């Protein structure tokens, strides 16, 4: 990365977060957490999740809200995240559906 790109990424890290819902198990107990991932760490975050390797959430961003005992946040927590951060709980599903449609359209265009 050159100096301009590093400077841009630093600015993004200071002003933007990519909010994501993470769930799984820690020490044998189910958990969920809303994580504000720094843009400079997002690719590495996706890679470690995909690999299924253990990792520490705070290496990639700030834990905004979390709970133990279940992998799904309660509706009150979801509503708080909508109200406070404007999250769309259906974003990932909408994105997946949109990508599937785009891929289908590309395949039909061949």
Per-residue pLDDT in tens (0 to 9) along the chain, 110 residues: 666 666 776 777 777 888 999 999 989 999 999 999 998 999 999 999 999 888 999 999 999 999 999 999 999 999 999 999 999 888 878 877 888 888 888 888 75
Q: What's the farthest any 2 CA atoms get from each other in the chain?
A: 49
CB 64 within 8 A of CB 35: yes
What is the value of pTM for the model shown?
0.77
- Residue 37 β-bridge partners: 18, 61
- What is the extent of the structural domain holding 9? 3-108
Number of domains in the chain: 1
């Amino acid at each position: 990365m050159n100096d301009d790109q590093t400077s841009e990424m630093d600015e993004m890290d200071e002003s933007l977060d990519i909010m994501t819902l993470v769930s799984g198990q820690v020490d044998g107990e189910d958990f969920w957490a809303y994580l504000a991932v720094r843009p400079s760490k997002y690719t590495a975050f996706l890679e470690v999740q995909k690999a299924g390797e253990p990792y520490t959430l705070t290496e990639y961003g700030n834990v905004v809200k979390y709970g133990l005992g279940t992998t799904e946040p309660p509706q009150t927590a979801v509503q708080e995240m909508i109200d406070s951060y404007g999250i769309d709980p259906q974003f990932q599903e909408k994105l997946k559906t949109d990508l599937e449609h785009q891929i289908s359209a590309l395949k039909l265009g061949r």
